[in-house]
Structure 1
């Protein structure tokens, strides 16, 4: 029952984040505040989803490269793959394993807690992207 309970909430967060990313103009990917670019935050979000799928759900990362994704289409595709990978990992997890603590490089969490952390993580980066869009100065070339 955990997968069927968690999935609608996970999809709501992902749908909103993916919609925001898809609506970005390509030129906004390089907008930057401090050390963070919009494109970098999007790539980071997908990479963390891959790492959590592996660490908390035992699903190996299908992205073996550490490529830099530079276009909006590449980043949207990366987000899609990371979401599909994590969703499949959640679906494959036996019901009894959802509440068993797992030790990882990210600390100890149950898979259910890990999904909550990922939702929070996505929300933080959505807010950072909005902040960067609002405050970053475009350089005139």
Structure 2
């Protein structure tokens, strides 16, 4: 399994998340349930994509990732788009034979293929949390 096999699956999952975020009312970014706000979940999702690009696809970001304003939907959408593009660039650069090689990371060993599966799961979890916060959260 390589980039061309993984790409449609990734795009289906990640594209749906992106559309959900793009369709949020900006005032919902402040909604909170427990310690999580919708804005913080969006930011966290982008951060994890950058981390996985580094940990499992050996693509290091040379500059600091700008922290967006957590009340500005356009900035959060831009960050999410940038992290996805960065991850896709990292995936396409990985040689086919490396997709099944286990790599050590701060969260344990995984192959790049397993890492993409973990990212899909991660994105789905946060999509569900955003929906839950919209239904039950309080304005921060």
Tell me the distance in 2 between the aligned counterparts of 1:62 and 1:115.
22
Tell me the distance in 2 between the aligned counterparts of 1:77 and 1:55.
22
- Within 5 Å, give how 1:1-141 maps onto structure 2: 2-61=2-61, 64-65=64-65, 67-70=67-70, 71-138=72-139
Give the aligned CA root-mean-square deviation in angstroms: 1.4
- Structure 2: state its 5+ residue gaps: none
Which structure's relative contact order is higher, taking Cα pairs within 8 Å and 6+ residues apart? 2
Tell me the distance in 1 between the aligned counterparts of 2:46 and 2:60.
14
CA contact (8 A) 1:38 1:129 kept: yes
Measured after TM superposition, the shift of residue 132 of structure 1 is: 0.3
For 2:84, what is the secondary structure of its paired residue?
A: helix
- Structure 1: state its 5+ residue gaps: none
Deviating runs (4+, > 3 A) in structure 1?
Answer: none
Q: Could you tell which deviates more after superposition, 4-13 or 64-73?
A: 64-73
Measured after TM superposition, the shift of residue 69 of structure 1 is: 3.0
TM (normalized to structure 1)? 0.94
CA contact (8 A) 2:31 2:139 kept: yes
Measured after TM superposition, the shift of residue 138 of structure 1 is: 4.0
For 2:109, what is the secondary structure of its paired residue?
A: strand
CA contact (8 A) 2:68 2:75 kept: no
Tell me the distance in 2 between the aligned counterparts of 1:99 and 1:123.
23
For 2:104, what is the secondary structure of its paired residue?
A: strand
For 2:24, what is the secondary structure of its paired residue?
A: coil
CA contact (8 A) 1:99 1:111 kept: yes
